[in-house]
Structure 1
Amino acid sequence: MLWRIHAVSALLMMPQTVTVTFMLVWLMNHHGWSVAAAGGLVTVSQLLGALGRIAVGRWSDYVGSRMRPVRIIAIAAASALFLLALTDNIGSRYDVLLMIAIAVIAVLDNGLEATAITEFAGPYWSGRALGTQNTTQRLMAAAGPPLFGALITTAAYPLAWALCGLFPLAAVPLVPTRLLPPGLETRARRQSVRRHRWRQAVRARELPTRPRLAARPGRPGPAAADEHRRHRRDRPVAAPRRGLPKCRNEKYH
């Protein structure tokens, strides 16, 4: 299962390196921002991402899983990039807000993946497993800027954002959500039981109630049948009598 975590971390590295590399240039050339304003927005985005990592770490401790939050982050990153491509293509004023959102979302998963690697690899494999993960991430980060730079120069920014959204989308089915970290199995199982009970309650409300049969001639209706069952249930049980013969042929003396 470690290779799946490596693949997920490598695929989710692409949105981070693309936004960090081209956000400043996009704000200056595409929107006409000054260097100071664009740099300040990049700094604010990075600070929000740092706070988001802490919040996501606490979230993973609460749900008892590292990979379930990673899967949600991957879905959110892909959705934000596709929306950014759409709004940037039509010239919407919300594209800057979406750029901030993807810059924050793209950095939320790194701590969870590193923690999952060390937990699942164990004390004898955690070093090489973490080194493998960092190597795959650095290779993806090194390949991203020249490839997307050439794509932006040849085509345009919206196509680059849409292509970048395919990477987190491809990571969604690879996330091993069933893997539970050691020490948090009970908490994750308790969360699963709560979700199961919630789904049962929702389904019970959505299912139509079965119609009750009407009374027929010579047959008691539903109210009479319920009263009869309640009477039989509430009737006290008589104590067994002692001193009776075990057989009918036995005589009393």
Structure 2
Amino acid sequence: MTGNPAHRRWLMLAIGTGGQTAMTTVLYGLPSLLPAFQREFGLSLAGAGALVSGPILGILLTMVGWGLVADRRGERFALAAGLLPAAAVLSVAAAVRGATALAVLLVLAGACGASVNSASGRLVIGWFPPHRRGIAMGVRQASQPLGVGLAAAVLPPLAEHAGLPAALGCCALLCAAVGGVVLLLAVDPPRPPETGTVRGPGPYRGGRLWRLHGAAALLCVPQFVVAGFALVFLTTARGWPAATAGTVLAVANLAGAGVRLLAGWWSDRVGSRLRPMRLLALATAAAVLLLALGAAAAPPLGTAALLLATALTVSTNGLHNTAVAEHAGPAWAGRALGVHGLGQHAAIVLVPPLTGALVTAHGFAPAYALAAVFPVAAAALLPGEPAAPAGETAAPSLDAASAAPRTPA
């Protein structure tokens, strides 16, 4: 593929964002089908929550491996090798009628789709210079609330009017379409030349990356408590029709996508991923605590706080993914993002069933109050700013020459 590299990088951003959006409908959008799973299989809320955790378990099994594949074989190969098999698995899932068989297939779909989490981030980071990575990763990370919003708007009506197989088939079609685009148009970013020198010890010395991994994992918990049970909260605690709730949540997730873009732009302007991330973590804690208070004593306040928390809980994802890739460098970015994603999904794999059980036993307010603790802990765990070389301000550490062309945009 030829053409202006400045134009190409935006095409690669669109492809990476499209791949993440398609897989998000499966990896994180299935909670919008919780009522449908309960109706179809006669499950409790906790049981349906365990079913939608299947893709997350699949991610845990393969995330680091896909990062290694992206480092060794390239982003295009990893994306296509994950999206197209995921589409095939979801097609089979649409045809099964048992909860156990569906659970196994959802685990397999997550195992395939994990490639997108590592490879699409590496694709974006590799094509953009440091001063534009924040906004670029903000666009890419906006795909997650967009995918969740798409799932909330489309999947419940499909399941209600055409059946659960139609909803799962829609997810399969999305993955197949984007996988085809990847094969046709995706181009791996430039790589640093092999020098033949002995490779260093890697980016994990000093513990900085581990603290980033840990903080990101903590921030994922309130995100999944809020997003995973938003539809259930609005339909059961507030008595909204499922279609209305899904539409409103789709709009809230669009706002979340906008917040991610603003967070990325902010981090580029201040030359730091961590300062905005820490402040947004504290704002997230306040929003989720307000949601708990509203759920306990003032339902209209709870509804407004739910929409605010839906946007804020997703605000930091682009920042910590960018920080990890920049600190790891081009040779390690895929694996570091794989470990990063592994930690996040390990933290949330039990969130849907445990939150479902807590809500069933004690209501929404305690679940939200507990979730508010995690972003406070994340803000405390975040490392300080990296040391800057003499004469420079603290800046992202991944050299533009090693991960992206220096042509003007």
TM-score with structure 1 length normalisation?
A: 0.70
Alpha-carbon spacing, 1:132–1:187, altered in 2? closer, same or farther (3 Å): closer
Is the contact made by 1:66 and 1:181 (CA closer than 8 Å) also made in structure 2?
A: no
SS of structure 2 residue aligned to 1:93: helix
Q: Deviations over 1:102-135 (max 9, x none)?
A: 1000111111111101111112222211100111
- Structure 1 CA distance for aligned equivalents of residues 304 and 387 of structure 2: 35
- 1:117 is matched with which residue: 308, 324, 331? 324
- Structure 2 CA distance for aligned equivalents of residues 33 and 181 of structure 1: 52
Q: Which residue of 1 aligns with 2:290?
A: 83
Q: Which residue of 1 aligns with 2:222?
A: 15
- Structure 2 CA distance for aligned equivalents of residues 123 and 67 of structure 1: 20
Q: Which residue of 1 aligns with 2:240?
A: 33
Q: Deviations over 1:8-66 (max 9, x none)?
A: 11000011111121000000000000011100011011111111111110000011100
- 1:63 is matched with which residue: 263, 270, 274? 270
Aligned amino acid, residue 375 of structure 2 = P
Aligned amino acid, residue 356 of structure 2 = G
Is the contact made by 1:116 and 1:181 (CA closer than 8 Å) also made in structure 2?
A: no
Deviation at 1:92? 4.3
Greater relative contact order (CA < 8 Å, ≥ 6 in sequence): 1
Aligned amino acid, residue 59 of structure 1 = W
- 1:48 is matched with which residue: 255, 277, 287? 255
- 1:73 is matched with which residue: 245, 265, 280? 280
Structure 2 portions without partners, runs of 5+: 1-207, 396-409
Deviation at 1:141? 2.6
SS of structure 2 residue aligned to 1:177: coil
SS of structure 2 residue aligned to 1:163: helix
5 Å matches for 1:99-114?
Answer: 99-114=306-321
Q: Deviations over 1:149-174 (max 9, x none)?
A: 11111111100000011111111111
The question of 1:96 aligning with 2:303 is answered yes
- 1:130 is matched with which residue: 330, 337, 340? 337
- Structure 1 CA distance for aligned equivalents of residues 274 and 394 of structure 2: 14
- Structure 1 CA distance for aligned equivalents of residues 394 and 347 of structure 2: 34
RMSD: 1.9
SS of structure 1 residue aligned to 2:252: helix
- 1:142 is matched with which residue: 341, 349, 353? 349
* Greater C-alpha Rg: 1
Aligned amino acid, residue 236 of structure 2 = N
Q: How many residues align?
A: 187
- 1:171 is matched with which residue: 370, 378, 381? 378
Is the contact made by 1:65 and 1:180 (CA closer than 8 Å) also made in structure 2?
A: no
Q: Deviations over 1:163-217 (max 9, x none)?
A: 01111111111112322689xx5377xxxxxxxxxxxxxxxxxxxxxxxxxxxxx
- Structure 1 CA distance for aligned equivalents of residues 380 and 225 of structure 2: 22
5 Å matches for 1:215-234?
Answer: none
- Structure 2 CA distance for aligned equivalents of residues 6 and 28 of structure 1: 34
Deviates more, 1:134-143 or 1:114-123: 134-143
- Structure 2 CA distance for aligned equivalents of residues 67 and 180 of structure 1: 13
Q: Which residue of 2 aligns with 1:151?
A: 358
Aligned amino acid, residue 360 of structure 2 = T
Q: Which residue of 2 aligns with 1:230?
A: none
Structure 1 portions without partners, runs of 5+: 189-253
Q: Which residue of 2 aligns with 1:212?
A: none
SS of structure 1 residue aligned to 2:386: coil
Is the contact made by 1:27 and 1:38 (CA closer than 8 Å) also made in structure 2?
A: yes
